[in-house]
Structure 1
Amino acid sequence: MIVVAALVSWFLVGLFITLARRYGWGQPIRKEGPQTHLKKEGTPTAGGIGFVLALLLCWVGLLLTGHGGGPKATLLVLAAVGMGCIGLVDDVLKIRSRMVGGKKELLAREKFPLQFLVGLIFAVLAAPLAPHLWVHSWGHVGDIALYTLAMVGAVNAFNFADGLDSLLGGLSIIVLLPLLAVSPVSALLVGVLLGFLWFNAHPARVFMGDMGSHAIGGVAAGAYILHADVWLLPISAIIPVAAVLSVVLQVAYFRQTKGKRLFRMSPIQHHFEELGWPETHVTLRFWLVTALGTALVWSILRGLTPLVP
């Protein structure tokens, strides 16, 4: 299953790169970002289209063979598509602004309501299926609120953790490893990300864009909610959590001190780049930190609460 998903993704992402180069679907690079990233201007972006499409095709294949994974798998796929479509709008605006000008991206006040809507729909459907009832209240209201926040938080955290070649793809694979045996969609996502990483390895020939990061965040949050424990996700996904917190702290500190910065640059991965770490060193070390967090999650799941299929 994982091998087939990787091959399908490899083909579709490669095809997407060919089309992106032909039509000029390149990534705009912020001039205020790390100066080492300026040479990446024009690299094909929105490669998440390729691996999300591969995920859908492989899942349909599992459905046809009777191994689709039931309602939990269907819910995860819908979360990936719903959140991915929000990210796709952002990607299209970025590409279009670089080519012909105009609106550069979705504003936070436009993006968050859409994310909350998708997260809420997921939470309402997921609450009766989740193995843990955390907030005892009538009609799963408390759990629905918790799962909605977890979904929206994860999507934005994984999005902020993107920005370096192979960083998000690699750490997402690590985060999902404890769930491979119980979540077919998680296994498929690992497979399609392996196919994507073939092209995203440094120096990247394609970036996943917001569609990819949003879809990954949706699957990661949903899989931990439905198959494990929502409170374990921040441990395994420690780097995405650190990335989003670094942005929040940077903005708050900047406003409080009227212009001073807590980090040289946020999200946190760019702070280490500004300290002089090579991009590949940041990526590898963040993978290692993620592996430690995921190993802790694995030990908790094995020792305290068995995985729920």
Structure 2
Amino acid sequence: MLIVSALVSWFLVGLFITFSKRYGWGQPIRQEGPQSHLKKEGTPTAGGIPFVIALLLVWLVLLLTGHGGGRSETLLMLVGLGMGAIGLVDDVLKIRSRMVGGGKKELLAREKFPAQFLVGLVFAIFAAPLAPHVWLPGWGLYGDIALYTFVMVGAVNAFNFTDGLDSLLGGVSIIVLLPILGVSPVSVLLVGVLLGFLWFNAHPARVFMGDMGSHAIGGIVAGAFILHADVWMLPIAAIIPVVAVLSVVLQVLYFRRTGGKRLFRMSPIQHHFEELGWPETHVTLRFWLVTALGTAIVWGILRGLPALS
């Protein structure tokens, strides 16, 4: 089904690009961002919409044929769609603002976080009894619910901040999911639809992912590690998203503490390296390599392999 999901995604993303160009659903580029990105102005955005649709369609076929997985996989799909819906609102606002030349440009953080928290909490309530471990001894089920909610919201924002360079988030997400593929049909389908998306997102990108895609990915990846692996292994495999979100937090705190100074030349961290002179493709490839190292460590730990030394 990986090949089928990749082909469906490839078709729908290509179709989406055609309609995007016809109706002008282009990406606005921040003038204060990396100057090398200004040439990307007008590139179709919200490419996560077609690959999330592809993910849902193929999963529904599997479900109808009895191969969609059990309750855990249904929960994974639902949390991906729930988080993706939040990102979809953000994508629609950005596209509409660009087309009409005004209006609300995007969801504010104070609007996103409550919605993310609600979706994460509902997921955690249903996931806690299904997860393979109890992580906070003495806290019981409520402790696990609190932990999973925090992990879910944190992961969604971390993966969202990792977007911004051609192929970066798609490649990182595929690598992080590799240890889960043998036990999670939804994760297999997500890898497939991301492969179809990367056909068009490879540098120079013909379409950008947008928030619906990054939110759905973050939800499914976090959920997959909670339900099928080890929640403490997620920050190791997803080291790049963790560093990306931490770089944003540290930049804001340092800026406020020092009265306007910057810790990084630009955040998230991938743009800092661009400002240092690294070509975009070098940043992407090197971040993939770091992700592969973290994922290899997780793979070894989960399978009880000898110490990687």
> Structure 2-normalised TM-score?
0.97
Correspondence for 2:122: 121
Q: CA deviation at 1:64?
A: 1.5
SS at match of 1:303: coil
SS at match of 1:264: coil
Asked if structure 1 preserves the Cα contact closer than 8 Å seen for 2:9 and 2:193, the reply is yes
Correspondence for 2:89: 89
Correspondence for 2:55: 55
Correspondence for 1:175: 176
Map residues 262-273 of structure 1 onto 2, 5 A cutoff: 262-273=263-274
Q: Which amino acid aligns with 1:237?
A: A
Q: CA deviation at 1:139?
A: 6.0
- Which moved further from structure 2: 274-283 or 16-25? 16-25
Correspondence for 1:30: 30
Taking the aligned partners of 1:170 and 1:243, their CA distance within structure 2 comes to 15
Taking the aligned partners of 2:138 and 2:199, their CA distance within structure 1 comes to 47
Asked if structure 1 preserves the Cα contact closer than 8 Å seen for 2:167 and 2:198, the reply is yes
Map residues 1-309 of structure 1 onto 2, 5 A cutoff: 1-100=1-100, 101-137=102-138, 140-303=141-304
Q: CA deviation at 1:102?
A: 1.1
Taking the aligned partners of 1:85 and 1:136, their CA distance within structure 2 comes to 34
Q: CA deviation at 1:136?
A: 3.4
Q: Which amino acid aligns with 1:233?
A: L
Q: Unaligned 5+ residue runs, structure 1? A: 305-309
Correspondence for 1:307: none
SS at match of 2:133: coil
Q: Which amino acid aligns with 2:204?
A: P
Q: CA deviation at 1:228?
A: 0.2
Taking the aligned partners of 2:216 and 2:139, their CA distance within structure 1 comes to 30
Taking the aligned partners of 2:277 and 2:237, their CA distance within structure 1 comes to 26
Taking the aligned partners of 1:11 and 1:281, their CA distance within structure 2 comes to 28
Q: Unaligned 5+ residue runs, structure 2? A: none
Q: Which amino acid aligns with 1:8?
A: V
Moved over 4 A (4+): none
Taking the aligned partners of 1:20 and 1:137, their CA distance within structure 2 comes to 53
Q: Which amino acid aligns with 1:153?
A: G
Taking the aligned partners of 1:23 and 1:289, their CA distance within structure 2 comes to 38
> Structure 1-normalised TM-score?
0.97
SS at match of 1:53: helix
Asked if structure 1 preserves the Cα contact closer than 8 Å seen for 2:12 and 2:50, the reply is yes
Q: CA deviation at 1:137?
A: 4.9
Taking the aligned partners of 1:141 and 1:171, their CA distance within structure 2 comes to 32
- Which moved further from structure 2: 18-27 or 128-137? 128-137
- Once the two structures are superposed, residues 109-131 of structure 1 have per-residue CA deviations (whole angstroms, 9 ceiling, x without a partner) of 00000000000000000000000
Q: CA deviation at 1:282?
A: 0.2
Asked if structure 1 preserves the Cα contact closer than 8 Å seen for 2:46 and 2:209, the reply is yes
Taking the aligned partners of 1:96 and 1:114, their CA distance within structure 2 comes to 21
Taking the aligned partners of 1:37 and 1:179, their CA distance within structure 2 comes to 34
Taking the aligned partners of 1:138 and 1:256, their CA distance within structure 2 comes to 35
Taking the aligned partners of 2:81 and 2:192, their CA distance within structure 1 comes to 17
Q: Which amino acid aligns with 2:233?
A: L
CA RMSD in angstroms comes to 0.9
Matched length: 304
